[in-house]
A and B are shown apart, each in its own frame.
Chain A
Amino acid sequence: MNWNRQLIWGLIFVFILLFITIFGPYLPFIDSDLTKEGAIISKKDGKISLPPFAPSSEYWLGSDRNGVDMFSRLVMGAKDMLLLVCSITLIRYVFAIPLGFFAFYSRVIETLLNFLNLAFSFVPAIFMIILFINMPYLIYSPHRVIWVILIIAFLEVGRVAEILKQQVTMISQKPYIEAAITIGTRQSKLMKRYYFPVLFPELLVNIILDLGRTMFIIGQLGIIGIFISHKIQTISADTIPVFQIQNTSNAWPLLFETLLKDIFSAPWIPIATGIAISIVILGFFTLAEGLRKHFHKGIHYL
């Protein structure tokens, strides 16, 4: 028996990730309240140390600048992170799948899709995201999260639809489709019996790979200091009101906020976050590769 090792590792990863997201907050060594520790006095020599605390037996991955345990912070943030990544990817595919199909059937939509892709190929994606997210309308909008998710999702709809269109075109040229059309198979049956079984595995693999990609983009945004959800808080001042943009989510990229300072004084904060993001991306990639191998098994006869 030839085991598909990548698939097994990928499934184990997803299982662990889901376990941590759902049951993580109830684990005994997780501080689910994310309590902020001001200072600790060492029991041995009575020295006082201030946050961020270095990794130790009490703080496995150290603590952030507020004295919150990094490990708990990462576990608690997993849910926000996953929700964000999944919603962006799903919305992207909900729009891209019909677009890809219609582009295959209709000339007009195909031209539109090509135009869209060419236009987007002129601008770095990250620049578009920053430009739109920093609009005052979005900064003040109560539905900012939804807008941001939509913007990030829509930026790559064209690319995904194009891939799908190419796959549909490729399948349509296969002899068995011609055969099916000759014997008078109805369009709906053609979809169900001939296109879907070939398309579905590819689609699944692409969706999982896209989860990783989205994670990467959100990480990049975090590095240059752009966060998905925030609130505008009026802070105390004697003169006119002063507003401050405060982050409200627990998502991982928020830990990159003080990155340029942390790398000198508390390198465990960005490094632990980076490792967490990398592990998740690697996990999605392994799962996608494993699935691809699994689905291709039936196609090769030798």
Chain B
Amino acid sequence: MKLISQLIGLLFMWLFVTIVLIMVVLLPRGFTEIDFSKSRVEMVKEYESNITTFSWDAYKQNITNTYKYVKEHKSLGQTVHLLSVEYEVWRYWKKSLIILIPSILLSMILGISKGVYDFTLKKRKFSLVGARTTSFFLVVPDFFIILSSQLLIMIAFSYGLPYVDVYGSETWSNKILAILFLSMYPMFFIARITSSTLEEQSGQDYIRTALSKGVSFRKIIWRHMMGNCWLKIISQLNTLVLYLLSNLFIVEFLLGYRGGAYRFYRAFEIKRTFTPLDVMNIDTGIVIGFIIVFTFIVFISHIISKILSFYFLRNEGNNN
């Protein structure tokens, strides 16, 4: 019962956040009707004031127009490519999902193993691959690591190593590289959390008992200690997904991977050069579509994390 009320709370939160974001997107971005009989200086001034003055009427009209359109056509509208928004969002989002889902799994699995490895290695003094690499990858910005690896791959090719396609979204190497780069930071983030929760457990009495009974080291860690750690690790799932989505913008941009985040970014980017005839408009339909998709992914991860924590919490209660 408690779980269900929590899930319903999450659902309302998701709806709330999505609606607020859509409201922000629908804020009027000015109109471009200017009087061309005026002088250039006056035209510039008029354009600027048109763009930057906020009017409640325009805002209201924006909202009602969008609402009416959605209600009438059961669609968010048409994109600049004359396709329906739903089709285009799905077309690009499909490509992002191909790298996003493996990245979630990869960063979870590798992150937990790396965390356990860091914890067991801690006893030795010089452990180059241990906790020090974890903090190195957490500190050094991942865009720099991505940039330099791309450069290294290209240099390696000029020295006769096999050709690897670095830019694009079509070949297998594109996808594998994108998955690797995307899951890099979240993986070490999970590793850090795993090793620190294990660290918290390490002083507990039950470990001494298990050791004295001759339970093997591996079994103590994976069976006894991790049993207490899952809860904490699982509760970080939504943070992990949030990091991945945030990173998706950077990775897709740097790799030229034409996925969802890239299309999303292009939809609300503004031009660097414009004339008074240009509307400062964004591709509202696409942006709304992607807002729903992005927040929905986080929503799902929240739900999974809640259900799993509920399950682990109950398990713990039964054991006691």
Contact = CB atoms under 8 A, between A and B. Distances in A.
Same assembly: yes
Interface of A: 118-119, 121-127, 130-132, 134-137, 139-141, 212, 216, 219-220, 223-225, 234-235, 237, 240-245, 259-260, 263, 267, 270-271, 274-275, 277-278, 281-282, 285
Contact of B246 (A122, A125, A132, A235): A125
14 contacts: A122-B13, A122-B299, A123-B298, A124-B248, A124-B294, A134-B282, A137-B54, A223-B253, A223-B254, A243-B273, A244-B273, A259-B147, A271-B151, A274-B147
Nearest to B273: A244
Given A131-B24, A270-B147, A224 B253 contact: yes
A216 B147 contact: no
B121 interface: no
Q: Which 3 A-B pairs have the closest CB atoms?
A: A274-B144, A124-B246, A136-B280
Contacts of A220: 141, 143, 249-250
Interface stretch (B64-72, B263-271, B309-317): B263-271
A267 B151 contact: yes
A263 B150 contact: yes
Nearest to A247: B272
Contacts of A121: 238-239, 242, 298, 302
A6 B36 CA distance: 65
Contact of A242 (B25, B54, B256, B275): B275
Contacts, number: 138
A123 B273 CA distance: 29
B13 A240 contact: no
A235 B275 CA distance: 10
Contacts of A125: 246
Contacts of B265: 130, 224
Contacts of B277: 240
Interface in B255-312: 256, 264-265, 268-270, 272-277, 280, 282, 294-295, 298-299, 302
Interface residues of B, number: 60
Contacts of B274: 242-243
Contact of A271 (B135, B148, B238, B256): B148
Contacts of A277: 141, 144
A122 B143 contact: no
Contacts of A136: 29-30, 51-52, 270, 280
Nearest to A232: B48
Contacts of A263: 147, 150-151
Tell me whether chain B's interface is mostly helix, strand or loop, or mixed.
helix
Contacts of A271: 147-148, 151
Contacts of A141: 52
A241 B239 CA distance: 46
A127 B135 CA distance: 26
B213 interface: no
Interface in B109-154: 135, 139-141, 143-144, 147-148, 150-151
A241 B276 contact: yes
Contacts of B248: 124
Nearest to A260: B256
Nearest to B246: A124
The interface centre, meaning the residue of B16, B269, B270, B299 with most chain A CB atoms within 10 A of its CB, is B270
A281 B141 CA distance: 8
A270 B143 CA distance: 10
Given A274-B143, A278-B144, A245 B16 contact: no
Contacts of B242: 121, 124
A105 B273 CA distance: 51
B245 interface: yes
A216 B14 contact: no
Given A119-B20, A224-B249, 4 more contacts: A124-B249, A241-B43, A243-B274, A244-B273
Chain B CB count within 10 A is highest, among A121, A122, A212, A216, for A122
Contacts of B253: 223-224
B316 to A, nearest CB: 22
B13 A242 contact: no
Contacts of B256: 260
B150 A119 contact: no
Contacts of B211: none
Contact of B294 (A127, A137, A260): A127
A122 B20 CA distance: 12
A244 B150 CA distance: 32
A123 B294 contact: yes
B226 to A, nearest CB: 24
Given A245-B273, A271-B148, A277-B141, A131 B268 contact: yes
Contacts of A130: 265, 268
A148 to B, nearest CB: 14
Interface string B164-183: 00000000000000000000
B8 interface: no
B54 A134 contact: no
A140 B51 CA distance: 8
A271 B150 CA distance: 11
Nearest to B150: A263
Interface string B1-36: 000000000000110111011001101011000001
A118 B239 CA distance: 11
A134 B268 contact: yes
A134 B270 contact: yes
Contacts of A241: 40, 43-44, 47, 275-276
